[in-house]
């Protein structure tokens, strides 16, 4: 969602927006890091188009890992760790994206499909681990509501033991769906149930299978922790204009041990990222991606994070953020080093 106090940047991009004279709300101070790589601009120019990234880590050669990102008006992109485009799959109407590696090595990409505004679907694709090519693999109906947030309940390694995995959907109507997907050959079978409901529009979604918690960002209220077995929920980080400034957007997790690590949230309202320590969700601090060799990031929707070694460019993990204002070009995705973020935060 685009904020009114960035109208000047939107005008330079030719993006039409209703520009109110509302002063920006700034949260607590944030440390800064810089991006070390970026993708080309997405193909849809002069639009709010790029949205959400997902990471596939190549276990044999981490430096040859792949990134998948959505263009809401165009489809799915695959990139390498230098930011170079590997492939594009046309599929207008996608929003958030996640991926998982199955036991047989197949990498399944799941994106929230909002091409039907009344009914949410999951758009499925397969990612070729060697070439980065994306192949459509069908569509699964979820339930009522415009598809928006999506995430996969995957283990810390990023891979599941078999061919069955769970996908959580967070449509704009606030209903949180849990869909159990099984791949059999070229087809997928699915069973969906309603897990919970949040009062207003959600989007950000990340699952922690270690603790059985699903974290959902309700954009103008805060961050919910939802028990994936019972649906019981608790608001664990409200919009407070300190750690989080509305809109609350993308979520990412950095798991450590049985229940520790960090959860990162895009505080889109003031172009920052809030870091909380798990499992207690205690505030750690905030950071921004400032201009350096590559530009800064603003209006970030989706984020993704993996703390493992990704080779010489990202030995201490990789953090990826959608850049919603990238003049004079269209929106794109920027990569930062997770170890540099932790150091800036004093962790």
pLDDT in tens, 142-188: 999 999 999 999 998 889 999 999 999 999 999 999 999 999 988 99
Prediction pTM value? 0.93
Rounded to an integer, what distance in angstroms lies between the CA atom of residue 28 and that of residue 26? 7
In the chain, alpha helices (H): 7-13, 338-345
The pLDDT value given to residue 46: 84
User: What DSSP letter does each residue of 27-75 carry, written as one string?
Assistant: -S--EEEE-SEEPPPPS--SSS-EEEEEEE--SS-GGG-EEEEEETTTE
pLDDT in tens, 17-67: 333 445 589 999 999 999 999 999 999 888 889 999 999 999 999 999 999
Confidence of residue 5 (pLDDT cuts 50, 70, 90): very low
What are the structural domains of the chain? 4-345 (2.120.10.30)
pLDDT in tens, 303-329: 999 999 999 999 999 999 999 999 999
Give me Rg for the CA atoms of the chain. Answer: 18
94-101, strands of its sheet edge to edge: 94-101, 107-113, 119-127, 134-144
């Amino acid at each position: 969602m685009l904020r009114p106090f960035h109208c000047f940047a939107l005008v330079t991009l030719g993006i039409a927006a209703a520009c109110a004279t509302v002063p920006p709300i700034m949260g607590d101070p944030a440390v800064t890091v810089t991006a070390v790589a970026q993708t080309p601009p997405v193909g849809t120019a002069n639009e709010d188009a790029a949205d959400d990234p997902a990471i596939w880590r190549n276990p044999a050669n981490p430096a040859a890992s792949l990134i998948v990102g959505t263009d809401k008006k165009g489809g799915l992109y695959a990139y390498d760790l230098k930011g170079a485009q590997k492939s594009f799959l046309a599929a207008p109407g996608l929003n958030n994206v996640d991926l998982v590696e199955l036991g047989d090595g197949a990498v399944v990409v799941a994106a929230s499909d909002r091409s039907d505004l009344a009914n949410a679907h999951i758009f499925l694709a397969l990612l070729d681990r060697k070439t980065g090519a994306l192949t459509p693999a069908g569509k699964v109906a979820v339930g009522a509501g415009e598809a928006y947030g999506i995430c996969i309940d995957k283990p810390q390694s990023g891979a599941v033991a078999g061919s069955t995995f769970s996908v959580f959907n967070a449509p704009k109507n606030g209903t949180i769906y849990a869909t159990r997907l099984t791949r059999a050959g070229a087809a997928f079978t699915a069973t969906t149930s309603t897990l919970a409901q949040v009062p207003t529009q959600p989007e950000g979604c990340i699952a922690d299978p270690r603790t059985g918690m699903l974290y959902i960002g309700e954009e103008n209220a805060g961050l919910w922790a939802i028990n994936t077995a019972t649906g019981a929920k608790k608001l664990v980080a409200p919009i407070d204009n300190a750690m989080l400034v509305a809109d609350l957007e993308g979520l990412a997790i950095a798991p450590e041990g049985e229940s520790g690590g960090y959860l990162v949230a895009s505080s889109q309202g003031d172009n920052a990222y809030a870091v909380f320590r798990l499992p207690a969700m205690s505030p750690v601090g905030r950071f921004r991606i400032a201009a350096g060799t590559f530009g800064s990031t603003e209006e970030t929707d989706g984020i993704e994070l993996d703390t493992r070694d990704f080779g010489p460019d990202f030995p201490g993990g990789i953090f990826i953020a959608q850049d919603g204002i990238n003049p004079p070009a269209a929106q794109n995705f920027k990569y930062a080093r997770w170890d540099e973020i932790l150091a800036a935060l004093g962790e």
